[in-house]
């Protein structure tokens, strides 16, 4: 049994706490709202996971210092925009090295930093045992129903990735390992852009052809950018690449897809649907994008 602290009591942070508690770990979940902590301690989090009974062993608190002192394994499940703020508060309470596991997907808008880079900038190296990324095609709503789910634990240090793998793995939540931190983070962040576009085309009623085009060509662009940043090409053929892209572009659980789909349907009802057969002609080949489908 390990002691684990999880930061962020939204749907994903709560779902991962659910998995960890089911695996027999001593889990303390942090939320900035005391009333939400009280609800979780009564074994529910209705706003984010409606109708789900949380494990009796899962505890929550709004005292961030308590969570830092609870464990040497800190799981960050807060939005990208809150990473630096939460890390700064964690840093104030550190007394020993800790392992950071971040499970958020995004890139900082101004700096264009990946989340692992943000963590290492905010937390002095003397307090960082390692930083592991946990990412992949995984909706919280399905995880807490114990539907089969696969994700990737990525770290340049294989031992740290394998430690996180053992921490989370069970009969319905399978964890693979990878050393390509850049690729896993880029795949997880950029698939959201493609999901927004797919939501728009689905809302316009363009069908499966358009969806397939956006997803496949979108994946090619994600892979090219990732490789330029130092990622391994094969990463984008795995769970944090094509896997995450599929689940985000095709599921009503996906906020990025769902939001754009609903917006376009609303626009259609207002009479702003399709606009003829398009306003510009495109080349029939893929020059300028790719001479082939190889990534």
Residues 48-86 as b or e (16 or more Cβ within 10 Å = b): bbeebebbeebbbbbebeebbebbebbbbbbebeebbeb
How is residue 169 written in tokens? 């793995």
Q: Is 195 helix (H, G, I), strand (E, B) or coil?
A: helix
- The catalytic residue positions are 191
Dmax (CA) for the chain in angstroms is 64
Q: Is 43 helix (H, G, I), strand (E, B) or coil?
A: coil
Torsion of CA 71, 76, 78, 83, to 10 degrees: 110
**In this structure, is the dihedral angle defined by the CA atoms of residues 227, 233, 238 and 242, taken in order, positive or negative?**
positive
In this structure, the number of other CB atoms found within 10 A of the CB of residue 141 comes to 17
């Amino acid at each position: 049994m390990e002691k684990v602290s999880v930061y962020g009591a939204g749907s994903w942070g709560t779902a991962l706490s659910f998995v960890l508690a089911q695996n027999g770990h001593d889990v303390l979940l942090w939320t900035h709202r005391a009333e939400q902590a009280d609800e979780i301690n009564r074994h529910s989090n209705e706003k984010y996971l409606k109708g789900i009974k949380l494990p009796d062993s899962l505890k929550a608190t709004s005292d961030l210092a308590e969570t830092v002192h609870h464990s040497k394994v800190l799981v960050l499940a807060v939005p990208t925009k809150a990473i630096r703020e939460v890390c700064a508060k964690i840093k104030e309470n550190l007394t020993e090295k800790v392992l950071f596991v971040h499970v958020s997907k995004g890139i900082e808008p101004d700096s264009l930093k990946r989340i692992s880079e943000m963590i290492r900038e905010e937390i002095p190296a003397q307090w960082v045992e390692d930083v592991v990324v946990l990412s992949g095609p995984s909706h919280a709503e399905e995880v807490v129903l114990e539907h089969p789910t696969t994700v990737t634990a990525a770290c340049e240090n294989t031992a740290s990735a394998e430690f996180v793998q053992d921490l989370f793995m069970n009969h319905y939540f399978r964890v693979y390992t990878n050393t390509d931190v850049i690729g896993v983070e880029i795949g997880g962040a950029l698939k959201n852009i493609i999901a927004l576009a797919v939501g728009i085309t689905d809302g316009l009623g363009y069908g499966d052809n358009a969806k397939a085009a956006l997803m496949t060509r979108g994946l090619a662009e994600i892979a090219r950018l990732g490789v330029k940043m130092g990622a391994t090409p094969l990463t984008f053929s795995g769970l944090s690449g094509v896997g995450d892209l599929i689940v985000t572009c095709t599921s009503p659980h996906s906020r990025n897809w769902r939001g754009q789909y609903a917006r376009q349907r609303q626009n259609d009802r207002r009479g702003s649907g399709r606009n003829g057969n398009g306003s510009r002609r495109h080349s029939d080949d893929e020059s300028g994008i790719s001479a082939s489908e190889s990534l």
